[in-house]
């Protein structure tokens, strides 16, 4: 929940110029997910650029008396190709259960949106040694609600909750370990799905740690938080991904 029209204009302009002018290599696919209020404006600014548009959340219903909510169809209509579901803040602050996250992934996919499904453990869960159990439970709930057919269009983002907004970052080995677990879960659907589904790391990725994280065999990119609000930092991460 950051930004203004002026900030959106400036940030998108700086990032697109950084890509189009080839100051940053464009070997990576780039996506931005502004707040709902700026989606239509962002869509216009992103026309004829290499950057895709996504939203930060959606409702499970197609339409109806759900004041204040946004449907998958509305997001598609305004120009979105992606939507984040199950972000750790949605789970922690708004009580979204594993099942609701799965329903949101299903709703997104049904309207042609690619859900970015967030999974991850809290600090307490990591300290208790149940990271694998938590991530597996969250993944299977999505599979139960939305089905395996959402992959490989759907993206998975591993968010160690203890590393979001804290300045802490999972070590490259810690991140790779969980990404490998997720890859193994996808392998249960099929080898093709496991090989072609993107698994992103989302836990305080910065320009100075991005290259090491992205070099891991099962880390396909990043879900960037605070660093995406500064064009130079975001471009640095894109360059590392390229």
Instruction: Cite the active site residues.
Output: 87, 159
Cα-Cα-Cα-Cα dihedral sign, residues 103, 107, 108, 110: positive
Whole-number Å distance between alpha carbons of 104 and 189: 20
Residue corresponding to tokens 């922690």: 92
Structure tokens at 228: 């995406």
Q: Which of 77, 78, 38 is nearest to 12 (CA)?
A: 38
CB 90 within 8 Å of CB 96: yes
CA dihedral 52, 29, 17, 40 (to 10 degrees): 10
Whole-number Å distance between alpha carbons of 70 and 39: 12
Measured at the CA of 150, the angle between CA 90 and CA 132, to 5 degrees, comes to 55
CB 87 within 8 Å of CB 117: no
């Amino acid at each position: 929940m950051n930004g203004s029209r002026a900030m959106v204009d400036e940030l998108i302009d700086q990032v697109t110029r950084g890509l189009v002018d080839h100051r940053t290599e464009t070997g990576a696919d780039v996506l931005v997910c502004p707040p709902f209020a700026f989606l239509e404006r962002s869509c216009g600014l992103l026309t004829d650029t290499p950057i895709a548009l996504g939203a930060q959340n959606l409702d499970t219903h197609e339409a109806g008396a759900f004041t204040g909510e946004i449907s998958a169809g509305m997001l598609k209509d305004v120009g979105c190709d992606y939507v984040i579901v199950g972000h750790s803040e949605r789970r922690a602050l708004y009580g979204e259960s594993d099942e609701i996250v799965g329903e949101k992934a299903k709703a997104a996919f049904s309207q042609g949106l690619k859900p970015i499904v967030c999974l991850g453990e809290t600090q307490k869960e990591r300290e208790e040694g149940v990271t694998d159990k938590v991530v597996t439970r969250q993944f299977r709930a999505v599979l139960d609600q939305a089905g395996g057919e959402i992959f490989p269009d759907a993206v998975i983002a591993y968010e160690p909750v203890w590393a979001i907004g804290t300045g802490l970052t999972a070590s490259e080995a810690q991140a790779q370990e969980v990404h490998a677990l997720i890859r193994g879960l996808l392998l249960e659907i099929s080898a093709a799905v496991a090989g072609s589904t993107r698994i992103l790391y989302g836990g305080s990725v910065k320009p100075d740690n991005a290259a090491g994280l992205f070099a891991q065999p099962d880390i396909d990119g990043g879900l960037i938080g605070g660093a995406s609000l500064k064009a130079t930092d975001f471009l640095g991460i894109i360059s590392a991904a390229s």
